[in-house]
Every structure is written in structure tokens, then in C-alpha cells.
């Protein structure tokens, strides 16, 4: 009989599952917003609704040798965290005081969105180099912790 995962493992596994829907050629990221142990929304990185994905057009960032963690505006994709917050807004679901499980540490753009959306906790799996994001999150009241998988 399989061991029942704790809440962190369960929700991080859901974020990893969301990442499998990503259409990004550089990095597959998934996010799950949770409140009171209930999933509110999910998100993964990919092009906006109705727009061709990088799988079809190629990656602007790869073609132009844009360094990871820089020039976020030069990308067809919407980040997983952004999509999770957008999905909540689209369906009229408040994410105030919720937690977000993300497969990667958020970039500075996503950190600002999460702070203003009222997210109270960020749980991430893999690191991502963005010094300003870390500084902004440390200055905010958002709790940030790295999830460590039991292997």
C-alpha cells in the first residue's frame, strides 16, 4: 500500500503535474494556488489563449541568446504563477491569504503579482536566480520556503 503524501507533497506533485502542460521550450513550470487545503487554481507557462505556442514558432529567447532571469518581456509565454492568478480573476476566485506551490522560485515579475494578489506563502521546488525577486519577497510579508522532496 502506498504511503499517503502530506499536504506539501500532494500540492507540489499537482504543481509538477501542471508543469507537464507547459509549451515553453526552455523551462516547464507549474503552479497551484491553495487555500484551506483546497486547490483554487492551477497554471503552467505557455502562450496566451489563442496565440501560437513556442513549440510552433520557436523560442525568441533561445534564438536571441537571452540569459535566464533577464528581459522577461521578450517571451511569448505567460508564467505559471501569472496564469494561476489570472485564472482566479477570470473565474472570480479570491486568492487573498492563499499559498502557491511552484516548481521554480518566482521571477521578480511574478513575485510582484503574488504580493499584490494577497498570496501569503510561496512554496517552491527548484531554485531560480533572480536577486531582486528574493529581495522584494523578503521585504514583503509573504512567507517563502523551499520544498525538499523525500527521495
The catalytic site residues sit at: 81
Write out the DSSP string of 73-131: TS-SPBPHHHHHHHHHHHTT---TT-EEEEEEPPPHHHHHHHHHHT--EEEEEE----H
Q: How far apart are CA 69 and CA 17, in angstroms?
A: 23
Q: How far apart are CA 53 and CA 70, in angstroms?
A: 20
Q: At 38, is the secondary structure helix, strand, or coil? A: strand
Amino acid at each position: 500500500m502506498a504511503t499517503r503524501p502530506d499536504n506539501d507533497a500532494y500540492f507540489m506533485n499537482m504543481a509538477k503535474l501542471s508543469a507537464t502542460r507547459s509549451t515553453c521550450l526552455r523551462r516547464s513550470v507549474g503552479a497551484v494556488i491553495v487555500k484551506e487545503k483546497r486547490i483554487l487554481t492551477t497554471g503552467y507557462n505557455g502562450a496566451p489563449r489563442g496565440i501560437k505556442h513556442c513549440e510552433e514558432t520557436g523560442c525568441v529567447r533561445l534564438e536571441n541568446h537571452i540569459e535566464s532571469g533577464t528581459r522577461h518581456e521578450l517571451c511569448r509565454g505567460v508564467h505559471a504563477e501569472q496564469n494561476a492568478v489570472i485564472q482566479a480573476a477570470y473565474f472570480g476566485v479570491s486568492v487573498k491569504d492563499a499559498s502557491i506551490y511552484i516548481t521554480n522560485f518566482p521571477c521578480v515579475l511574478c513575485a510582484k503579482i503574488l504580493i499584490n494578489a494577497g498570496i501569503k506563502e510561496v512554496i517552491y521546488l527548484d531554485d531560480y536566480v533572480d536577486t531582486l525577486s528574493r529581495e522584494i519577497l523578503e521585504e514583503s510579508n509573504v512567507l517563502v520556503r523551499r520544498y525538499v522532496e523525500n527521495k
